[in-house]
Structure 1
């Protein structure tokens, strides 16, 4: 069965899903199998996406108009597609930069494999740079701010580290100079952002605009 997911960022009616709907219907998705979301892609709480993913079954294929309709960021996207693949569910992207992605085909799986490799590469770079920065700060007698305070740099390292099975939370907290409570308030055990983490990233982004 083909299932379609549509999303626009604003819920005030100023954006329309008409183009996405037409494309998904033309690709063979039945109207009853369309899920429509009005929410920012950065939000964790996207009820229509959660309902869509929950309703998918082995052998189904999820269709999206563009890749950015589905994922918050590259890491979230890779994790979502990994979960779909593990459940025997395909993904097709109809247009945009990800139009060659169709995990029901060998070539489509290869393309997404490149995306996954880039995400892993990005996480490793963030981890290396942050560790180097923390080591440099310690060598100069600085601890990177007040004890127990989460910073954007520490948060990036926490995100990268928490997604790895061999990460020891106690050692990570000591390396970052934060408590477990602070860590888990910002990042989940799987490395996804929690509300406090989202706020910190957004505040940092606004500061550097």
Structure 2
């Protein structure tokens, strides 16, 4: 059985063109999402379509971007369908996993998705290395500045850790970690909590 899926992103768009194409392709059941972005893969119509598919069935879409806009997610979804013995057809791109040519196109897509992930990973690592070389702090902004750490260290001589942490509106464990980090930089070793209270 062929099951069709259609989607439009905005409320003012209509599904007529897609539905006509899916019916023309022989789909006996149709599911759709109206006014939902393709970047979201959690959609009620798509969920129902996937649940309705059984081994030997075929999921048909008018165009690949109707199923989703992220290549990696598309490949994962089509891979899941294959594992369930469900074929996939995209009418506009002539992708048809029931044919050897369609399987080839799918594998090219998978390779492109892997290539895209590798490029993103390489760019991220290169950017982080360059930022470290410039002396930039990576990750979340520190809870306390160096001046606040110095002030907290002085206050701890007369007040408990929890009181000092409340003064800076942070959790006591956050203050402890920040002071530990400061002591590592200053002394080359991590101090114990007893040293700071």
Whole-angstrom CA distance in 2 between matches of 1:133 and 1:15: 40
Task: Tell me what 2:15 maps to.
Answer: 17
Structure 2 residue ranges without an equivalent (≥5): 143-197
- TM-score with structure 2 length normalisation? 0.68
Whole-angstrom CA distance in 2 between matches of 1:145 and 1:53: 38
SS at match of 2:132: helix
Aligned to 2:126: 132
Deviation at 1:146, TM superposition (A): 3.5
* Distance (whole Å) between structure 2 residues aligned to residue 118 and residue 92 of structure 1: 19
**Total equivalences in the alignment:** 142
Q: Normalising by the residue count of structure 1, what TM-score does the alignment of the two structures yield?
A: 0.64
Residue 126 of structure 1, CA deviation: 0.5
Deviations 1:10-69 (A, max 9, x none): 23xx21111111111111112xx1001111112243111011112211100000000000
**4+ runs of 1 displaced by more than 4 Å?**
none
Give the structure with higher Rg (CA): 2
Shift of 1:144: 3.2
Q: 1:34 aligns with which of 22, 30, 36?
A: 30
d(CA) in 1 for partners of 2:58, 2:137: 49
Instruction: State the secondary structure of the residue aligned to 2:98.
Output: coil
For 1:86, the equivalent position in structure 2 comes to: 83
DSSP-derived class of the 1:4 partner:
strand
CA distance in 1 between partners of 2:41 and 2:87 (Å): 22
Give me the whole-angstrom Cα distance separating, in 1, the residues matched to 2:139 and 2:109. 35
Q: Could you tell me which residue of structure 1 aligns to residue 42 of structure 2?
A: 45
User: After superposition, what is the alpha-carbon deviation per residue over 1:77-126, rounded to whole angstroms, capped at 9, x for unaligned?
Assistant: 1111010011110011111xxx2210111110001110110010010011
Q: Give the unaligned 5+ runs of structure 1.
A: 149-209
- For the Cα contact (< 8 Å) 2:40–2:68, is it kept in 1? no
CA distance in 2, matches of 1:102, 1:17: 22
Q: The residue matched to 2:60 in structure 1 has which SS? A: strand
Contact 1:6/1:69 (<8 A) preserved = yes
Residue 70 of structure 2 is aligned with which of 60, 73, 84?
Answer: 73
Residues 59 and 90 in structure 1, CA contact (< 8 A), matched pair in contact too = yes
- Tell me the C-alpha RMSD between the 2 structures: 1.6
